[in-house]
Amino acid sequence: MSSNRDIDNLIELMAKLPGLGPRSARRAVLHLIRKRALLLTPLADSIQRVAETARECLNCGNVGTSDICDICSAEKRATGELCVVEDVADLWAMERSGVFKGRYHVLGGTLSALDAVGPDELRIPRLIDRVETEAITEVILALNATVDGLTTAHYIADQLGGRVRLTSLAQGVPIGGELDYLDDGTISAAMRARKDV
């Protein structure tokens, strides 16, 4: 408690952010107040703008500031390749890698019997629509290599069966990875998928 209502209120809200607790929220707020011109005012404006405009893309589920996100509305990204990811964070990771030039489809999670997440809780019906209506030539499944991720991949493969070329990310040794520290699953996956040099 900072002895001031407005500041306490800000600290409480900051403390709700993932990765921040009450203590780090207090530090962050003090830092903001000290760096008013440099950080506090710009952050206030920026967060206000995002609060007013941020929304989910109606087409792919990415977050943006318009009904159709910048990727979906960029003509040059209509390559016919559609990259399916679980989550917006995964889409951002793909974008950072800069390797993919097509469009995305964000499922919004994975099928999960435990959490009772079925195809209709996810954006799977919409995915099938898109494959039928847009000129999609290849669907790339970039789901996490978890049990739920694999289940979801199988289900989608089942639904799309044959309508379109279906690929998934290669599994193997990560760049810079040391065999000694890799789990057996990764090593055997890399072994099975070995390539001629």
- Residues in contact with its own copies by CB under 8 A are 1-4, 6-7, 9-10, 13-14, 16-20, 24, 26-33, 36, 39-44, 46-51, 53-54, 62-65, 69-71, 88-89, 91-92, 95-96
**Least distance (Å) between residue 184 CB and its own copies:** 28
Q: How far apart are CA 26 and CA 104, in angstroms?
A: 38
Identify whether the C-beta of residue 141 lies closer than 8 Å to the C-beta of residue 110.
Answer: no
User: What is the nearest approach in angstroms of its own copies to the Cβ of residue 13?
Assistant: 5
Nearest residue (CB) to its own copies, 4 versus 188: 4
DSSP string, 154-182: HHHHHHHTTSSEEEE---SPPTT--GGGS
Determine the length of the chain. 197
Q: Cβ of residue 151: shortest distance to its own copies, in angstroms?
A: 24
Nearer to its own copies, 62 or 160 (CB): 62
CB of 76 to its own copies, least distance (A): 13
Q: Give me the DSSP letters along 64-90.
A: ESSSS-HHHH-GGG-SSEEEEESSHHH
